[in-house]
């Protein structure tokens, strides 16, 4: 890349240097025209590690390349713009920002960044409450939500961007290989140890400090279903086919104190438990024996102790094992302050003695009714893509597969069976099955991480360098509007209302009451 093209390449700031920040920095660097030019994170080790990998290599970072947090970046950027306006020579700014901080911080960060008119991609979920989702929406839409967005906005719904799922949608909505869709059964198998890692011992274990697992783990599965059944097909100008009603059931069924093996006694930490060697949830087995001792220092070991990789390289395996065991031995007792317990993960904690409360098994059922376009007669021609249909989603913790989605789609002319690697189409008329094996690129989520980064940066590039309007770039490259982002998150909150209230939720009434009425008040 010559100097001139590099100057025009979209310049990206990563806010949050954890695992998702690293994943997007890698994706931007390897799969897009963009350049990662800055990082913001309060933890110096994480910040400098990401910086060395993607920004300044072996050189010393310049002031515009690293920030201790997002507030420092905003102050720096405001001063940079002030200096530039005064005619002073300044460092170049950034064009886009990837938000990879904790979920509950998204609303504050995005709302604070909004006045800078930078293009933003936020990791999912958008926020942990409906109120915060709407606050973000309002911050990005000027003039009381009447004007079109002035910047590109993306969300980490990476399932939309994998080659597998893009082909699946094409087969369904463009090629109509199974005719009209009647129903979908979609499952996310979380993975037995992955659930224990993230949703029992990790940051997402409590609804009060994070959010329901349907939001933190599976909001992009709900979005995936709406993408297939609600959003219009590409190039179509039809309005979305909105759901009619939904319901949900689910609970925390297994990893709770009432299920604790009697032989474990009063132990609260794996390293002091009498049945540790026989327990499949042993933190020592999961992190040390199955991974670190086999030379694996990345996720999830790195989440337990971010410095473990550096320790392994500089001091050796034995030192790294000792350091990891020290972290796993950390525990709390009944005298510990709740605030201290809730502020961090406890990866060595007994899975039956943790303070987790999010669902480990949940079903959501979404129902659509016939909905011909306004002013049109309800008949076969006017119901294409808008006929009655049903989607069921199952999030299950205790599975062999880890996040390898699978499902079946039933249509009027055939059915599709899919997993994360194949798509099999059975045609009723011929009795034949055709199986396709979509490309499986490197990177997370079946290539979805790279796909999302590539489309977002392409949208920024189109606006910055090619005179494309924000609205057109959002539609062409991101393929998802801000309204769609709000709708799919709202569907999760509506499903939680249905689950907790043991009721059927009327979608239109719920949307008018919880979303439209709230927006009118703001």
For residue 506, give every residue at least 6 positions away whose Cβ sits within 8 Å of its Cβ, in sequence order, or none.
244, 245
* pLDDT tens digits for range 82-110: 999 999 999 999 999 999 999 999 999 99
For the residues 424-453, what does the mean pLDDT come to? 92
Average pLDDT value for residue range 422-437 = 98
SS (H, E, C) 120-145: EEECCCCCCCHHHHHHHHHHHCHHHH
Distance CA 498, CA 318 (A): 51
Percentage helix, strand, coil for the chain under 3-state DSSP, each rounded to 5: 45, 15, 40
Average pLDDT of span 206-222: 97
Q: Can you list the domains of the chain with their CATH numbers?
A: 3-158+450-479 (3.40.50.720), 180-255+357-411+485-521 (3.30.360.10), 269-342 (no CATH)
User: Peptide bond before 243: cis, by omega within 30 degrees of 0?
Assistant: no
Residue with tokens 């958008």: 126
For residue 2, the model assigns a pLDDT of 36
- Report how far residue 522's alpha carbon sits from residue 117's, in angstroms, rounded to the nearest whole number: 21
Q: Mean pLDDT over residues 238-244, rounded?
A: 94
pTM equals 0.94
Give pLDDT, residue 375: 63
pLDDT at 146: 60
**Mean predicted confidence (pLDDT) in 8-28:** 96
* pLDDT tens string 497-508: 999 999 999 999
Average pLDDT, the chain: 94
Q: pLDDT tens across 101-147, in order?
A: 999 999 999 999 999 999 999 999 999 999 999 999 999 986 655 66
Q: Please compute the mean of the pLDDT values over residues 303-310 and round it to a whole number.
A: 93
Residue 4 confidence (pLDDT): 41
Query: Where residue 7 falls among pLDDT bands split at 50, 70, 90?
Result: low
If one compares 447 and 165, the residue with the highest pLDDT of the two is: 165
User: Rounded to the nearest 5 degrees, what angle is found at the Cα of 264, between the Cα atoms of 262 and 267?
Assistant: 130
pLDDT at 243: 97
């Amino acid at each position: 890349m010559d100097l001139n093209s590099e100057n025009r390449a979209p310049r990206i700031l990563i806010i949050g240097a954890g695992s998702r920040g690293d994943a997007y920095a890698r994706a931007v660097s390897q799969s897009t025209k963009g350049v990662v030019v800055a990082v913001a994170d309060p933890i110096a080790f994480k910040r400098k590690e990401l910086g060395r990998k993607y920004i300044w290599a072996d050189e010393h970072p310049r002031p515009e390349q690293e920030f201790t947090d997002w507030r420092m970046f905003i102050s720096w950027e405001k001063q940079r713009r002030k200096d530039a306006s005064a005619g002073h020579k300044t460092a170049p700014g950034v064009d886009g920002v990837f938000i990879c901080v904790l979920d509950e911080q998204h609303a504050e960060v995005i709302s604070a960044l909004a006045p800078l008119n930078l293009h933003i991609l936020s990791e999912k979920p958008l926020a942990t409450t409906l109120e915060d989702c709407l606050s973000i929406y309002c911050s990005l839409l000027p003039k009381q939500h009447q004007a079109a967005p002035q910047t590109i906005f993306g969300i980490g719904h990476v399932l939309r961007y994998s080659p597998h799922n893009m082909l699946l949608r094409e087969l369904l909505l463009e090629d109509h290989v199974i005719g009209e869709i009647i129903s979908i059964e979609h499952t996310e198998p979380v993975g037995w140890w992955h659930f224990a890692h993230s949703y029992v011992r990790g940051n997402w274990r409590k609804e009060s400090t994070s959010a329901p697992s349907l939001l933190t783990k599976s909001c992009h599965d709900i979005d995936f279903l709406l993408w297939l059944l609600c959003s219009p097909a590409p190039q179509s100008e039809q309005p979305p086919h909105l759901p009619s009603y939904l319901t949900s059931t689910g609970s925390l069924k297994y990893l709770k104190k009432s299920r604790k093996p009697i032989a474990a006694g009063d132990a609260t930490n794996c390293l002091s438990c009498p049945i540790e060697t026989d327990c499949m949830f042993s933190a020592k087995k999961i992190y040390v024996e199955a991974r670190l001792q086999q030379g694996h220092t990345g996720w999830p070991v790195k989440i337990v102790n971010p410095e473990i990789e550096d320790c392994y390289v500089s001091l050796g395996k034995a030192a790294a094992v000792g350091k990891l065991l020290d972290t796993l031995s950390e525990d709390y007792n009944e005298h510990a302050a709740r605030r201290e317990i809730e502020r961090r993960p406890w990866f060595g904690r007994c899975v039956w003695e943790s303070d987790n409360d999010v669902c480990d098994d949940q079903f959501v059922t979404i129902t659509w009714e016939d909905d011909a376009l306004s002013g049109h007669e309800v008949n076969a021609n006017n119901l294409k893509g808008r006929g009655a249909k049903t989607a069921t989603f199952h999030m299950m913790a205790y599975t062999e597969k880890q996040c390898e989605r699978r499902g079946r789609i039933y249509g009027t002319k055939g059915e599709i069976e899919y997993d994360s690697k194949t798509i099999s189409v059975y045609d009723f008329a011929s009795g034949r099955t055709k199986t396709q094996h979509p490309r499986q690129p490197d990177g997370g989520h079946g290539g979805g991480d790279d796909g999302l980064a590539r489309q977002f940066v392409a949208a920024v590039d189109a606006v910055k360098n090619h005179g494309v309007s924000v609205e057109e770039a959002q539609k062409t490259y991101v393929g998802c509007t801000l309204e769609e982002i709000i709708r799919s998150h709202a569907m999760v909150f509506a499903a939680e209302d249905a689950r907790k209230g043991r009721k059927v939720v009327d979608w239109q009434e719920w949307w008018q009451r919880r979303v439209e009425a709230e927006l009118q008040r703001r």
